[in-house]
């Protein structure tokens, strides 16, 4: 399978604990995105990397959230001191730069990590 | 990013065409119209996109109004596997620097056998 993979698929944690999620993009993709989705809502953008550089962060990404992509390949999203409001599906997506995709960078999404904070 | 308006839900019968509308009255000249869909328990997937002209691909057709203030995603023969939430999204292309997608709440399509 050469799609975007995310690990773990499910995570249950207690309030106050730290959690870390991993995303492995499609190998040729240099762009990587994180989104968060709560029940009944569309995904909300969190942050975006081009290679290892984090180029944009949403205001949704509080100080408790940090994302890295150290070698421009896989990425991690860490949430410190989790709160019940952090319970959501965390989605990762990747894409080519438009110049390699005929001018359009279709985003390919992974299956997501479902976080439940008790 | 300009806003889109979609019906919350629609129903269709299997093997019949489905027309999913989207209003985007504040669209600007550089906004592309994109459609993604999200099947149950999966991440979203790209369906189609266009700027001014109608577009066809293996999944669907996109009909864009002449004034570009609305568009319609057309599934020519709905199958049970097309049951999903369909998102209409506008995004500006900055000469190749396109990035985030701004999702709304989408249209939940139910397909009846």
Q: What confidence tens digit (pLDDT) does each residue in A20-79 have?
A: 999 999 998 889 999 999 999 999 999 999 999 998 888 888 899 999 999 889 999 999
By CA distance, what is A55's nearest residue in B? Answer: B99
Is A103 an 8 Å CB contact of chain B?
A: yes
Q: Cβ–Cβ of A48/B100 closer than 8 Å?
A: yes
Compute how many other C-beta atoms are within 10 angstroms of the C-beta atom of residue B102.
16
Do residues A47 and A35 make contact, with C-beta atoms less than 8 angstroms apart?
Answer: no
Do residues A111 and A1 make contact, with C-beta atoms less than 8 angstroms apart?
Answer: no
Is A102 an 8 Å CB contact of chain B?
A: no
Q: Cβ–Cβ of B101/A45 closer than 8 Å?
A: yes
d(CA B6, nearest CA chain A) in Å: 12
DSSP-assigned states of every residue in A13-72: E-TT--EEEEEE--TT--EEEEEEE-TTS--EEEEEEETTEEEEE-TTS-TTEEEE-TTS
pLDDT category at B24 given cuts 50, 70, 90 is: very high
CA A114/CA A103 separation, integer angstroms? 32
Q: What are phi and psi of A6, to 5 degrees?
A: -135, 145
Do residues B35 and B73 make contact, with C-beta atoms less than 8 angstroms apart?
Answer: yes
Q: Which residues of B touch A40 (CB under 8 A)?
A: 105
Largest CA distance in chain B: 44
d(CA B5, nearest CA chain A) in Å: 13
pLDDT tens digits, one per residue of B71-100:
999 999 999 999 999 999 987 655 545 568
| DSSP 8-state secondary structure symbol assigned to residue B5 | B
Q: Which of A43, A48, A97 sits opposite B44 (nearest CB)?
A: A43
Q: Give residue for tokens 């240099």.
A: A30
Is B79 an 8 Å CB contact of chain A?
A: no
pLDDT category at A99 given cuts 50, 70, 90 is: low
- Structural element, H or E, at residue B54: none
Terminal-to-terminal C-alpha distance of chain B:
38
| DSSP 8-state secondary structure symbol assigned to residue A85 | G
DSSP-assigned states of every residue in B62-99: EEE-TTSSEEEEEESS--GGG-EEEEEEEEE--TT---
pLDDT category at B28 given cuts 50, 70, 90 is: confident
């Amino acid at each position: 399978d050469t799609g975007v993979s995310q690990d773990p698929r499910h995570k249950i944690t207690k309030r106050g604990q730290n959690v870390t999620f991993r995303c492995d993009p499609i190998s040729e993709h240099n762009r990587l995105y994180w989104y968060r989705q709560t029940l009944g809502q569309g995904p909300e953008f969190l942050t975006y990397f081009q290679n290892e550089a984090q180029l944009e962060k949403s205001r949704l990404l509080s100080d408790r959230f940090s994302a890295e992509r150290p070698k421009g390949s896989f990425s991690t999203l860490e949430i410190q001191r989790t709160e019940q409001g952090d319970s959501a599906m965390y989605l990762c997506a990747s894409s080519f730069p438009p110049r390699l995709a005929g001018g359009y960078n279709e985003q390919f999404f992974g299956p997501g990590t479902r976080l439940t904070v008790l | 990013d300009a806003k889109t308006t979609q019906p919350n839900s629609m129903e269709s019968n299997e093997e019949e065409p489905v027309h999913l509308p989207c209003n985007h009255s504040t669209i600007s000249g550089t906004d592309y119209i994109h459609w993604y869909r999200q099947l149950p328990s999966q991440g979203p997937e790209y369906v189609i996109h266009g700027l001014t002209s109608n577009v066809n691909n293996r999944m669907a057709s996109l009909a864009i109004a002449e004034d570009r203030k609305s568009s319609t995603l057309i599934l020519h023969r709905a199958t049970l596997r097309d049951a999903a939430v369909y998102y209409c999204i506008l995004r500006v292309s900055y000469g190749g620097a396109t990035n985030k997608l701004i999702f709304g709440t989408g249209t939940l399509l139910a397909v009846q056998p």
